Structure 1
Amino acid sequence: MPTVSAARWQAVAFLFALEKGEAYSDLALKARLDEARLDKRDAALCTRLCFGVLENQALLDYYIGHYSSVPLRKMHPRVRAILRVGAYQLLFMDKIPPSAAVNEAVATAKATRNGAASGLINAVLRRLAEHKENLPEIEAETEEERLAIRYSHPLWLVRKLISQFGSQTADLLAANNSAPPTSVRVNRLKATKEEAVAALEAEGVSVEEDPWLDSLYLSESGALDELSAFQKGLVTAQDKAAQLASLALSPQPGSFVIDGCAAPGGKSLHMAALMENKGQILSFDIFENKLSQIAENARRIGATCITPKLGDGRVFLPELEKKADFVMADVPCSNLGIIRKKPDVRFKKPEDIEKMPELQLAIMENLSRYVKPGGVMVYATCTILREENEDNVSAFLQKHRDFSLEPFFEDFPALFQVPAGQLTLYPHIHQTDGFFMARLRRKA
């Protein structure tokens, strides 16, 4: 059997499983890497290959199709995966010699019983390598179709984004294909910012500090959960946007807080720190297996005020009616704001996304019943679609006259100030995850 690098072998296997519907990007990939026991270098290469192919799949297919005598739709799915991994290396990874990319692809085909396609794979990839500096222009009937190919987003999604963002759409699509920084939040229950930075740098991690949040941006960090600073609870993974949602709520020490859709617990952890671990946070999730994840994260950072509880955000619990000082309604969503972290989100079916606003509004309305008079609720999503965000808030306020939007972040930089009480963050503007938050206060 031909020798194939572990990273490329696992990348092809993962992409093949993904196309068959047997995997979901980030979680399934991490599980596969853990099972394969790849070293750090191979794990990093495999991750880059998988995410790179998903981020550029339509563009890779366009160029493969241009040089292939066989249409992609007639190829075995594993052959498509092999070609995509090879093409991505040729077109996006200059440090990999073209000969290595081609030879590994051919070897993978032979090792996976797709040897009959090895000649086709060799020919297509060699032609791609030869024409790398003179690739064909993207020919499309409309600008929408050109953008869909260039940035590898489904045509329906490109059209939807154009209807909302107009001339900014290309910048948004490009940002979706960019690599997000490794972002962590300093856990103030265990460390100052200076102490966390020193601990990370002592482990050889390069650290950039956010000028006004407890965010740190890491490079050369390897797997975050292998760092001592993470294991000791000095830092925890969290994007700036998610931190801003907790800051929009701003629960005070001694408060009673409900986090209605909490897993994996990032906002509960942040709120515990904001509350100085004083008070109580009930962290609900509908999936029992995720409660242990919340509990473990709380233990790691030293947040004893968090109590994980099983519960459906749509189901009313009368014992909690009008009891909470603060409620976090971070509802399930289309996840279209985090495509740069989960590139296969772009392949969601439009009919599944269309169902989200009804579910979100039901959760929002139920959780609002727990807010005491004078209390505050934040409605949040990690999507950028208006129908999941502003439209839901408007629909809620139409029915609930005892709630009103409230300004927040008055002391923040101008780009993040929210006089209207609701804010959408965009990867191409704010360099964060796409995220929405609205602060609503119940009349006293």
Structure 2
Amino acid sequence: MDRKMLFHTERAHGIAIVLDEAVFVAPSLNGVMEDKIYLQNLPSAVVSHVLDPQPGEYVLDMCASPGGKTTHMAILMGDKGRVVAFDKGYEKVKDIERNAKRLGLTIIQAHRNDATKYRKYISEGGEVTNGANPPTFARESFDRILVDPPCSALGIRPRLELSDPLSTDLQQKALFQRNFLRAAVMLLKPGGVLVFSTCTINPGENEGNVRFALDEFPLKLEKPKIRLGGVGVEGMGLSDEERELVQRFEPWGRHDTPGFFCARFRKVGEYR
């Protein structure tokens, strides 16, 4: 049964399951200290520390909804500087704004924007955000950028199949993500930091795209400030040294996390 069938079946049938006992003896945090707490899984929290945004910097989150990483970055910056958040859905942008307001953060500016359509919003002449649709941003202007693009989500929603359609879908996802990487490199200052992350365990979307980025753009991998994940997989074109610099979280790993991946790059030259 696929996702569409699961959620759109007209008539309920089969066996219903009632959860009458919690696996872990822990109280719910729903509604507790909502102005101070935003729940994240461990790898998602690690990502913002890998980006390591500093107070006063100009930072971009390219695929930001619902705003967990966005708000975390703003908190790490002491709510000083500016965090721009993109998402292409109206309600998703509202989610980012609501979460920023709930946590009392003032430096987050959320925009409805399709990050892959970079020719529409990257400007050689400077930034125009007030009243612009879409807003425009100056080329090579951001200090740090997080690219956490749509992915196959195999780290959190395993698909119990191995078929040609799945294989094709995974390849297409990896190629699609490269549009976000290209846009990010165009917007990032020389010397700036780019972090690429996904919630999948598919090497093509992870190590494969790291190899693509290193070959295609003026980027080099850097050692992350925090390292809790394992090394990258072999066979995707990364050297042993490069595999040591990326972080891969496996669902069966020692930290009991969803599958996840992140890599930190430094931009070492202009890209036009």
- Length-normalised TM-score, structure 1: 0.49
Aligned positions of 1:118-157 closer than 5 A: none
Structure 1 Cα separation of the partners of residues 71 and 265 of structure 2: 21
Aligned positions of 1:6-405 closer than 5 A: 19=5, 22=8, 78=11, 81-82=13-14, 84-85=15-16, 219-221=26-28, 224-225=29-30, 227-230=31-34, 233-316=35-118, 317-318=122-123, 319-339=137-157, 350=166, 351-400=168-217, 402-405=218-221
8 Å CA contact 1:408, 1:421 repeated in 2: yes
Amino acid at match of 1:427: P
| Structure with greater proportional helix content | 1
Correspondence for 1:49: none
1:433 pairs with 2:235:
no
Structure 2 Cα separation of the partners of residues 297 and 288 of structure 1: 15
- Check 1:220–1:385 CA distance in 2 against 1; reply closer, same or farther (3 A cut): same
Question: Which deviations, in whole Å up to 9, do the C-alpha atoms of 1:280-311 show, x marking residues without a partner?
Answer: 00000011221111000000011111000111
Question: Which deviations, in whole Å up to 9, do the C-alpha atoms of 1:349-385 show, x marking residues without a partner?
Answer: 6143332011101111111111101100001100010
Give the secondary structure class of the aligned counterpart of 1:237.
coil
Structure 1 Cα separation of the partners of residues 63 and 71 of structure 2: 13
Give the secondary structure class of the aligned counterpart of 2:60.
strand
8 Å CA contact 1:256, 1:280 repeated in 2: yes
Structure 1 Cα separation of the partners of residues 85 and 216 of structure 2: 26
Give the secondary structure class of the aligned counterpart of 1:386.
coil
How far 1:320 moved relative to its partner? 2.6
Give the secondary structure class of the aligned counterpart of 2:262.
strand
Structure 1 Cα separation of the partners of residues 3 and 176 of structure 2: 29
Structure 2: tracts of 5 or more residues without a match: 124-136, 232-241
Correspondence for 1:157: none
8 Å CA contact 1:336, 1:346 repeated in 2: no
- Check 1:20–1:246 CA distance in 2 against 1; reply closer, same or farther (3 A cut): closer
8 Å CA contact 1:16, 1:78 repeated in 2: no
How far 1:240 moved relative to its partner? 0.8
Give the secondary structure class of the aligned counterpart of 1:359.
helix
Structure 2 Cα separation of the partners of residues 17 and 268 of structure 1: 28
How far 1:393 moved relative to its partner? 1.0
Aligned residue pairs, count: 239
Structure 2 Cα separation of the partners of residues 311 and 16 of structure 1: 30
Between the aligned residues of both structures, percent identity stands at 31
Question: Which deviations, in whole Å up to 9, do the C-alpha atoms of 1:18-65 show, x marking residues without a partner?
Answer: 526528xxxxxxxxxxxxxxxxxxxxxxxxxxxxxxxxxxxxxxxxxx
Higher relative contact order at CA 8 Å, sep ≥6: structure 1 or structure 2? Answer: 2
1:406 pairs with 2:231:
no
Aligned with 1:423 (options 247, 250, 261): 247
8 Å CA contact 1:272, 1:305 repeated in 2: yes
- Check 1:370–1:405 CA distance in 2 against 1; reply closer, same or farther (3 A cut): same
8 Å CA contact 1:408, 1:419 repeated in 2: no
How far 1:428 moved relative to its partner? 0.9
Structure 2 Cα separation of the partners of residues 284 and 385 of structure 1: 25
When Rg is computed on C-alpha atoms for both structures, the one with the higher figure is: 1
Correspondence for 1:101: none
Structure 2 Cα separation of the partners of residues 309 and 16 of structure 1: 33
- Check 1:435–1:254 CA distance in 2 against 1; reply closer, same or farther (3 A cut): same
Structure 1 Cα separation of the partners of residues 3 and 173 of structure 2: 26
Structure 1 Cα separation of the partners of residues 3 and 86 of structure 2: 32
- Check 1:258–1:278 CA distance in 2 against 1; reply closer, same or farther (3 A cut): same
Structure 1: tracts of 5 or more residues without a match: 1-14, 24-76, 97-178, 182-205, 207-218
Give the secondary structure class of the aligned counterpart of 1:407.
coil
- Check 1:384–1:376 CA distance in 2 against 1; reply closer, same or farther (3 A cut): same
Structure 2 Cα separation of the partners of residues 78 and 413 of structure 1: 45
Structure 2 Cα separation of the partners of residues 289 and 414 of structure 1: 32
Structure 1 Cα separation of the partners of residues 229 and 249 of structure 2: 13
- Check 1:16–1:397 CA distance in 2 against 1; reply closer, same or farther (3 A cut): closer
How far 1:315 moved relative to its partner? 1.8
How far 1:234 moved relative to its partner? 1.4
